[in-house]
Amino acid sequence: MNALQDIYLINQFPNFHAPGFDRERYDNIFRENNVIINAESSHVEYGDHWGPLSVKCAFNGREFYRSDSRTVAVDDDSFLIFNEGKVYSSYIRSETKVRSFTINFSPSFVDAVYASMTAADPDQAFSGTSPVRFAEQLYRHDRTLSPLFHRLRSLSLQLHANKEQIADLYTELLQRLFATQQQVRTDVERIGAVRPSTKQELHTRLHRAKDLIDSCFTEELTLDQIAAAAMMAPVHCLREYKKNFGCTPHQYLIRRRIREAERLLRRGTMTVSEVCLAVGYSDLSSFSKLFKSRTGTAPEQYRRRES
């Protein structure tokens, strides 16, 4: 399987409102090609638009996606998957430039890769009618997928010189993405419900709650807000969240803040006070005590050691 014949690079955000901009032609690029978007901006916004199967990443900041009456953010910690046919809007609002990086897969390429995988190993086939319906949620960067994202991002800077390598990586990445959905199916099966449809619905709702925390962890989120994102009663949300994720929503919020603090301290470009504010805390002393209790190291020590 080779993506060589249909790879396309967008390295500047288009202006949909520019005179003469052909929106239909632009959308057709995504229907007919594998498309990499690798562009920087500190302030950009797009209204609702159609998209193919895609992986949304952002580096050195955050990019927000709105769809299905919710907003989620991707950053250095997480990425988002949208299925083919998704209608969504997006925006970046930052004091510094954010690197937006999206990998789009054409429908024909997805079908071809899936067919080659299932022909080689029928056990990899998805149950259900469609092999390409991914769980539309935030995923943490890991050692399986993230190295491919970074490699594609680097190679795309010189697309024509690196077409063969990009083609191979495109196929490998899609194969690994299919594998992530096997884990999602396992997670769904573990949910304590009798009917498969109930398991799937509860999995989706709980991840909407988790996605809200990941997207808004700098804010003072309440259980009511988190439960509302999951369309569940607060008590029910609290119980099911802890049962399925091994911690309460509030405990996860603290973990997420500490994880971001660790990342910012490793970069070494911010003071401890700046990191404290950046992750949602206003009191430096309280933040320092919490950080040390969770990591075993004071923030300043961690910064000197890891940066």
Tell me how far apart the alpha carbons of residues 174 and 87 are, in angstroms, rounded to a whole number.
21
Write the pLDDT tens digit of every residue in 66-105.
999 999 999 999 999 999 999 999 999 999 999 999 999 9
Q: What is the pLDDT of residue 128?
A: 44
Distances (CA, A) of 57 to 13, 63, 96, 139, 178: 15, 8, 17, 10, 18
Contacts of 141 (CB under 8 A, 6+ apart): 76, 77, 78, 79, 149
| Confidence band of 131 (pLDDT split at 50, 70, 90) | low
Tell me what percent of the residues of the chain surpass a pLDDT of 70. 94
Count the neighbouring beta carbons within 10 Å of the beta carbon of residue 20.
4
Write the pLDDT tens digit of every residue in 242-276.
999 999 999 999 999 999 999 999 999 999 999 99
Fold of 4-188: Jelly Rolls (2.60.120)
| Confidence band of 132 (pLDDT split at 50, 70, 90) | low
Does pLDDT of 20 surpass 70? yes
Write the pLDDT tens digit of every residue in 180-225.
998 999 999 999 877 989 999 999 999 999 999 999 999 999 999 9
Q: What is the pLDDT of residue 248?
A: 98
Q: What is the pLDDT of residue 307?
A: 86
Distances (CA, A) of 192 to 86, 123, 178: 30, 25, 24
Does pLDDT of 155 surpass 70? yes
Answer yes or no: CATH 1.10.10.60 is held by domain 252-306.
yes
Write the pLDDT tens digit of every residue in 26-78.
988 998 999 999 999 999 999 899 999 999 999 999 999 999 999 999 999 99
| Confidence band of 295 (pLDDT split at 50, 70, 90) | very high
Q: What is the pLDDT of residue 221?
A: 97
